[in-house]
Chain A
Amino acid sequence: MQHASPLPWLIKCAGAAGVLLLACGLATARFGSALQQPTVTTRDGTVVTLNRYVREPVPDLVLVGSSVAWRLKEEYFSRPGVRNLALAGGSPVTSLDIVAKQKSLPKIVLIESNVLTRLPDVALIEKFSGDKRTEPLFLRPVRTAVAVYETWNHPPPNRAEARAGRDRLLSEPPSNFDNKVYLDRAVQQMNDGDDPSVPAEVNVARIRELIDDIERRGSRAFLLEIPVAPEIEDSRMVRMSNAIIHAAFPDHARWLPIHPPMKELRWADGVHLDERSALLVARAIESALAERGQ
Chain B
Amino acid sequence: MPDRAIRGGMTFTSLQFGIFVAILFGVYYLPPLRRFQVQMLVLASLVFYGSGQPALLPLLLLAVLGTYLCLVLAFDNRAVWMRAGIVFNLALLAFFKYKLLFIDPAAVHPTGVTPLDVLLRLPLPIGISFFVFHNISLLVDLTREKRPPPLRDVFLYIIFFPQLVSGPITRAGQFMPQIAPKRLAEVDFVAAAKWVLTGFFFKLYVANNLNEMTSYMDYPLYETVATPDRWLLVFLYSYQIYADFFGYSAIALGLGLLFGYRLPVNFNLPYISVSFSEFWTRWHISLSTWLRTYLYIPLGGNRKGPVRTCLNLMIVMTLGGLWHGANLSYALWGMLHGLLLVVERPFLTLLGDTGPVVRVARMGVVFFCVTMLWIFFKLPNFDHAVGYISGMFSPTDNPNPTKLFRNMALLYALPVFIQHFGIGALLDGRLRRWEPYLYGALAAMAFLEAGPDAAFIYFQF
Asked whether B31 is an interface residue with its Cβ less than 8 Å from the other chain, the reply is no
A41 and B440 contact, Cβ closer than 8 Å, known pairs A141-B448, A177-B399, A268-B399: no
How far, in Å, is B28 (CB) from chain A's closest CB?
Answer: 17
How far, in Å, is B263 (CB) from chain A's closest CB?
Answer: 16
Asked whether B130 is an interface residue with its Cβ less than 8 Å from the other chain, the reply is no
Point out the residues of chain A lying under 8 angstroms from B193, CB to CB: 6, 9-10, 13
How far, in Å, is B454 (CB) from chain A's closest CB?
Answer: 12
Interface size class, chain A: 35 or more
Q: Does the CB pair A140–B399 fall under 8 Å?
A: no
How far, in Å, is A275 (CB) from chain B's closest CB?
Answer: 8
CA distance A243 to B454 in the complex (A): 39
Binds B, one of A14-22, A93-101, A191-199: A14-22
Q: Does the CB pair B447–A10 fall under 8 Å?
A: no
Q: Does the CB pair A146–B411 fall under 8 Å?
A: yes
How far, in Å, is B449 (CB) from chain A's closest CB?
Answer: 5
Asked whether B225 is an interface residue with its Cβ less than 8 Å from the other chain, the reply is no
CA distance A138 to B446 in the complex (A): 13
How far, in Å, is A134 (CB) from chain B's closest CB?
Answer: 18
The answer, among B397, B400, B447, for a CB contact under 8 Å with A21, is B447
CA distance A43 to B452 in the complex (A): 10
How far, in Å, is A187 (CB) from chain B's closest CB?
Answer: 15
Asked whether A35 is an interface residue with its Cβ less than 8 Å from the other chain, the reply is no
Q: Does the CB pair A3–B399 fall under 8 Å?
A: no
Q: Does the CB pair A146–B399 fall under 8 Å?
A: no
Asked whether A1 is an interface residue with its Cβ less than 8 Å from the other chain, the reply is yes
The contact string, 1 if C-beta is below 8 Å from chain A, for chain B 427-461, is: 00000000111111101110111001000000000
Point out the residues of chain B lying under 8 angstroms from A229, CB to CB: none
Most buried by B among A1, A3, A12, A138: A12
**Smallest CB gap from A178: residue in B:** B397
How far, in Å, is B6 (CB) from chain A's closest CB?
Answer: 22
The contact string, 1 if C-beta is below 8 Å from chain A, for chain B 382-419, is: 00000000000000011110001101100110000000
Point out the residues of chain B lying under 8 angstroms from A140, CB to CB: 448-449
**Smallest CB gap from A6: residue in B:** B189
CA distance A3 to B189 in the complex (A): 8
How far, in Å, is B443 (CB) from chain A's closest CB?
Answer: 4
Q: Does the CB pair A13–B443 fall under 8 Å?
A: yes
The answer, among A9, A138, A142, A143, for a CB contact under 8 Å with B190, is A9
Near B by CB (< 8 A), chain A positions 125-157 give 138-143, 145-146, 149-150
Asked whether B293 is an interface residue with its Cβ less than 8 Å from the other chain, the reply is no
CA distance A189 to B440 in the complex (A): 49
Asked whether B278 is an interface residue with its Cβ less than 8 Å from the other chain, the reply is no
Asked whether B224 is an interface residue with its Cβ less than 8 Å from the other chain, the reply is yes
Point out the residues of chain A lying under 8 angstroms from B411, CB to CB: 142, 145-146
Point out the residues of chain B lying under 8 angstroms from A274, CB to CB: 399-400
CA distance A168 to B438 in the complex (A): 51
A38 and B440 contact, Cβ closer than 8 Å, known pairs A268-B398, A269-B400: no
The contact string, 1 if C-beta is below 8 Å from chain B, for chain A 156-187, is: 00000000000000000001010000000100
**Smallest CB gap from B438: residue in A:** A16
Asked whether A40 is an interface residue with its Cβ less than 8 Å from the other chain, the reply is yes
Q: Does the CB pair A13–B436 fall under 8 Å?
A: yes
CA distance A149 to B411 in the complex (A): 13
Q: Does the CB pair A21–B213 fall under 8 Å?
A: no
Q: Does the CB pair A143–B449 fall under 8 Å?
A: yes
Most buried by A among B191, B407, B412, B436: B436
Asked whether B344 is an interface residue with its Cβ less than 8 Å from the other chain, the reply is no
The answer, among B398, B441, B449, for a CB contact under 8 Å with A142, is B449
| 8 A–B contacts from the bound complex (CB under 8 Å) | A1-B190, A3-B188, A13-B439, A16-B441, A17-B441, A20-B441, A138-B448, A272-B400
Using a CB–CB distance below 8 Å, which chain A residues touch chain B? Answer: 1-3, 6, 8-10, 12-21, 24, 38, 40-41, 43-44, 138-143, 145-146, 149-150, 175, 177, 185, 268-269, 272, 274-275
Q: Which 3 A-B pairs have the closest CB atoms?
A: A16-B440, A12-B436, A20-B444
Using a CB–CB distance below 8 Å, which chain B residues touch chain A? Answer: 188-191, 193, 197, 212-213, 215, 220, 224, 397-400, 404-405, 407-408, 411-412, 435-441, 443-445, 447-449, 452
